[in-house]
Amino acid sequence: MDDLDPNTPVLVGVGQAAERIDDPEYRGLSAVELAAVAVRAALTDTGADPAAVAARLDTVAGVRQFEISTPGAPAPLGKSDNYPRSVADRIGADPAHAILEVGGGQSSQHLVIELARAIADGTCRAAAVFGSEAISTARHLATADPRPDFTETRGGQLADRGYGLSGMVSRYSAAHGLTDAPTQYALFENARRARSGRSREQYAREMGEWFAPLSRIAAKNPYAAAPVERGADELATVTDRNRLIADPYPRFLVARDQVNQGAAVVLTSIAVARELGVPRAKWVFLHGHAELHEQQMLARPDLAEAPALVRAARHALEVAGIGAGELATIDLYSCFPISLSLIADGLGLRPDDPRGLTVTGGLPFFGGAGNNYSMHAIAETVARLRTTPGGYGFVGANGGTLSKYSAAVYSTVPAAWREDRSPQLQADLDTRPTVEVAIAANGPGTIETYTVKYGRRGPFGIVIGRLGDGRRFLATVDPADTDLLTTLTTGDPIGLPVYVRSSGKGNRVTATRDRMDQLHPVRVPAFRETYEFAEIRRDGRLLEVTINRPEARNALTPQANEELDEIFDAYFADPDLWVAILTGAGDRSFSAGNDLRYAASGKPMWIPENGFAGLTGRRAMTKPVIAAVNGFAMGGGFEIALACHLVVADETAQFALSEVRVGLVAGAGGLVRLPRAVPPKLATELILTGKRIPAAEAHRLGLVNRVVPAGTALAGARALAAEILTGSPTSVRASLQVMNETAAVTDVVDAVNHPSRALDDLMISEDMREGLLAFGAGRPPHWKNR
């Protein structure tokens, strides 16, 4: 050992803390206080003077609690604005560096590996890594009187690395109910069951067999949140207490997050450990480690496997120079059965392995302490290895949706720091093919995997499938489609044919097209007698549409967008209407775009497939639409105006893409249309600042066709419409079609020579013949619109 580099990293102290609300000693500790208890225990565990060890810490690193892991996450009792330094204050430390790691179950072990590497290269000398959760206490005391206040305004230096959610969350997945871990993992689990060829009953029993040994260990662990031993049958059988969460998971088979737990590790260099007088019997070395990540969920070629995670586990053993059979202790992350069984299968381990597959009792039984579970696994591994020196312990930490894996091998056997080849392995993994995703899916397909999640509103079916061209889609099952729900809950649906149809609320799936037409009939374009959020007026060939929400500055809710989409469907389908005008009620606002108050209310949000007002995402705008802007056109309102063919503006009108000022982006076309309408530098300025431009300037820039006196925007639009109506509607349609078809053709000659069906149809139209005859006869033409 004396010949090792003095900068060799060693784990010198570990500590854990926990309390249950039904314990006689329950104190209702905050997350900060639980972490402080764990760190104090780790400092004491070093066998040196705890105060001296604390004074030598130059780095403290915290694992994020759930309450700070997503934007807007609830913290009913308050929280610290600098969690790592709040904990450091309580142990008498004043480190130069404080780190708040990204979220994910891999984060605790990642920090240990990262700081061990920093110690090895000399940029760190001593560090404490910790995490904690007081979720059970927050829930228990949220309505207490008086209610404790855990708010701390600590301030100070903090390297906050963010939530780490990039690539983990998307509008597409959220629109289809993939917002929680059980649902996402259930999709993987059912794909894995189908791959195995097992029946539902066989697979449920197998999941119970994987987890029953974990519960036996948790039952003996004083830090466990649920120290109750359960057999395989009890775990697999659905009962009132063991209710289904998301098929195939009953409650006993998912991570338990209602916990009050904390864990900590202290790392130093060998040199610092000697200076502090840490006994050599306390030293534990990091022999092997690896960290790899998977592709985004829907891009993965095989939803039954996670090769990056298995490769990380194997590589950590390779770096350590041992095989899985040489391990004395093992802890595999067990938030759901697949996260454990997938790695166990990859390492050749079985549920009845006499060493056990956990040292704590696993996440459903010991407790899923937020992102910090694996810190407990490391602490327990270190403690066990010290009691039987010379053995090796493996900890595998999983984060995201089988997304990130951090694996490490520990031992009391002295070892120099060893680098892994994770970057090279990751580069190779990144070359794997991915699956193309169909955002708007339509037509026949097959079920690739599925789940049904259960909540207060009843069962909710989710399907991942493949279209005939191989593209993958997400879709939901209508609650009224009891036949398909029954198939998902009792049958073996993977590989079955289905029919999928897109909508503004996402893709919907049924067993057949006939069933789709029954539940979600294709809307036949037609006008209604009355509308709730809009008014229409027909004047010969002209349709006038007024957004009728003046009390909300004509801002649009999902329901208002749906009405306008329906109106414009009818307009474009009606051969007797040749021009449309869109305006806003009142004299203050054309439209403020998305109704932010509605959006902030938590009510369901969606946008029709054709976009804001049924226009910003519409592909076939084959007849002219004129925006009569009679006031502010802000955010989505400006985007609607940009989507219209022509704009007439009141001289008092103002335009702005103001989304950046409320934390949004102009995603309904503003980011695309404005840079194509004005010089890119100017468009960028307007987009990034949310700057308002008056009607006169908008006219100068070519964003507005005509500026008219205050209060006359609609009259001005009518005048422009009248001019259009003097021309052939067939020619107008053909002109718009050719302009659309050639918009992306950069070469002018190629654009001029572009073959268009519209021009061919015009040649044989009655309007072309009538126009030429009328011109020759010196009379006004009588357009036929055909």
Catalytically active residues, by annotation:
639, 659
Which class for 630: exposed (0-12), middle (13-18), buried (19 or more C-beta within 10 A)? Answer: buried
Backbone angles phi, psi at 176, to 5 degrees: -110, 20
Among the listed residues 559, 565, 504, the one whose alpha carbon sits nearest the alpha carbon of residue 533: 559
Question: Which amino acid, 118?
Answer: A
Answer yes or no: are the C-beta atoms of 393 and 328 closer than 8 Å: yes
| Strand residues in 84-235 grouped as ranges (E) | 97-100, 126-134, 159-160
Question: What value, to the nearest 5°, has the Cα angle with vertex 705 and ends 699 and 710?
Answer: 75
Q: Is 114 helix (H, G, I), strand (E, B) or coil?
A: helix
Query: Quick one: how far is CA 453 from the chain centroid?
Result: 18
Rg of the chain taking only CA atoms, in angstroms: 32
365: DSSP letter: T
d(CA 761, CA 194): 53
Token duo for residue 331: 């802890």
**How many other C-beta atoms are found inside a 10 Å radius of the C-beta of residue 674?**
23
User: What count of residues does the chain have?
Assistant: 786
Token duo for residue 82: 């600098």
Q: Which residues contact 266 (CB under 8 A, 6 or more apart)?
A: 11, 12, 13, 14, 39, 42, 43, 45, 46, 53, 57, 126, 127, 128, 129
Location of structure tokens 């985004």: 296
Token duo for residue 158: 């903090």
Furthest C-alpha separation in the chain: 110
End-to-end CA distance of the chain: 93
Q: Is 552 helix (H, G, I), strand (E, B) or coil?
A: helix
d(CA 106, CA 401): 11
d(CA 556, CA 415): 64
d(CA 657, CA 639): 8
Among the listed residues 223, 45, 215, 216, the one whose alpha carbon sits nearest the alpha carbon of residue 128: 45
DSSP structure string for 287-341 = EEEEEEEPPPGGG-S-TT--HHHHHHHHHHHHHHT--GGG-SEEEE--SSHHHHH
Token duo for residue 614: 């049924």
Answer yes or no: are the C-beta atoms of 541 and 586 closer than 8 Å: no
Question: Which amino acid, 32?
Answer: V
Sign of the Cα torsion 394, 375, 380, 7 reads positive
Q: How many CA atoms lie within 13 A of 666 on its CB side?
A: 32
Query: Quick one: how far is CA 535 from the chain centroid?
Result: 38
* Bridge partners, 244 (sequence order): 250
Q: Is 721 helix (H, G, I), strand (E, B) or coil?
A: helix
Q: Is 625 helix (H, G, I), strand (E, B) or coil?
A: strand
Q: Which residues contact 76 (CB under 8 A, 6 or more apart)?
A: 138, 139, 142
d(CA 219, CA 614): 58
Question: What strands lie across the sheet with 159-160, from one edge to the other?
Answer: 9-18, 260-269, 126-134, 59-62, 97-100, 159-160
d(CA 176, CA 477): 10
